[in-house]
Amino acid sequence: MKHVATALLALFTFLLLAVAPPSTSAQEVLHYWNFNNPGADESWPQPVAATAGSGTITYSFASNVTDFGGSTVNAQDGDPSGRSFVIQGASGEAK
């Protein structure tokens, strides 16, 4: 009897997985910043507009924003490695 219950459970599981629709939901980028602008020796705008999407980044520590060389890690659509948006030495200001 135990073998029959196990076989029925296995059959039910197989059938459930066989007829279940595959997951077709794709991930979608809502907002994306590549931080390649502004150019060297220029200040970051306020707010920083998204490269893709309608998001913005606002900040209140203008004297502590700097940049370093960027990378292509997490880059989208073949964006080159440009700059990075770095909050430097902002102890007590980042909330």
Sequence-distant (6+) residues with CB within 8 A of 58 are: 46, 47, 48
* Structure confidence at residue 13 (pLDDT): 78
* Structure confidence at residue 74 (pLDDT): 82
* Alpha carbons 67 and 88: distance in angstroms, whole number: 9
| Residue found by looking up tokens 């700059």 in the block | 83
From the CB of residue 34, how many other CB atoms can be counted at a distance below 10 Å?
Answer: 20
Cβ atoms 86, 94 nearer than 8 A = no
pLDDT digits (tens, 9 = 90+) for 15-49: 777 777 766 677 788 899 888 877 777 777 888 89
From the CB of residue 36, how many other CB atoms can be counted at a distance below 10 Å?
Answer: 15
Higher pLDDT, 15 or 6: 6
